[in-house]
């Protein structure tokens, strides 16, 4: 009888907690990081074009923001990304995103900053830094060659 009672009590508790809501309405969960809806942003300046990036809330972003403003000469790679080797390592928590989206800003390894201007599937792991809010015109602004980009706190 005690075993039956304990079993029924356990099932009731599981059902009770499974139906409980939590107050996490202000968060979006990603496999690698958590983004608060009240995220911070940064400006990305490429020549005369200015883009706004929404930043994730993680240790990588905090360390990167501490270096802002920063102007970097980014190199072209594969017709879909610009990258630069940062002088210092940043905290990282790389995961495979599966698909890269136009406007994604990621960290490859611990010191390669990457700005993607075309969407594609990937098998590589990255730490998500953020994403350009409206990437219209990004590819044109970046061009096909190496480019100088300024990152500023917004």
Domain ranges of the chain: 28-153
* Residue 2 pLDDT: 56
Q: Which residues of 24-45 are buried (b: 16+ CB within 10 A; e: fewer)?
A: eeeeeeeebbebeeeebebebb
Question: Which tens digit of pLDDT belongs to each residue from 67-117?
Answer: 999 999 999 999 999 999 999 999 999 999 999 999 999 999 999 999 999
Q: Of the candidates 154, 147, 69, 138, which has an alpha carbon nearest to the alpha carbon of residue 105?
A: 138
Question: Which tens digit of pLDDT belongs to each residue from 122-141?
Answer: 999 999 999 999 999 999 99
Element (H, E) at 46: strand 41-46
| CATH tag for 28-153 (out of 3.90.76.10, 2.40.100.20, 1.10.10.10, 2.40.50.100) | 2.40.100.20
Separation of alpha carbons 50 and 141, rounded Å: 9
* Residue 154 pLDDT: 84
Residue 27 has pLDDT above 50, yes or no: no
Question: Which tens digit of pLDDT belongs to each residue from 28-79?
Answer: 333 444 434 345 899 999 999 999 999 999 999 999 999 999 999 999 999 9
Q: Is the peptide bond before 69 cis (omega within 30 degrees of 0)?
A: yes
Tell me the backbone φ, ψ of residue 146, rounded to 5 degrees: -65, 155
């Amino acid at each position: 009888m005690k075993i039956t009672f304990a079993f029924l009590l356990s099932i009731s508790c599981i059902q009770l907690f499974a139906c409980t809501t939590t107050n996490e309405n202000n968060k979006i969960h990603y496999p690698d990081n958590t983004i608060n809806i009240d995220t911070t942003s940064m400006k990305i300046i490429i020549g005369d074009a200015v883009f706004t990036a929404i930043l994730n809330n993680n240790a990588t972003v905090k360390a990167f923001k501490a270096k802002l403003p920063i102007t970097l000469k980014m190199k072209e790679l594969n017709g879909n990304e610009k990258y630069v080797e940062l002088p210092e390592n940043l905290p990282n928590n790389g995961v495979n995103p599966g698909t890269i989206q136009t406007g994604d800003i990621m960290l490859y390894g611990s010191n390669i900053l990457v700005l993607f201007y075309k969407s594609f599937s990937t098998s590589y792991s990255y730490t998500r830094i953020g994403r350009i809010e409206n990437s219209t015109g990004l590819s044109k602004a970046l061009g096909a060659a190496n480019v100088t980009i300024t990152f500023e706190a917004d």
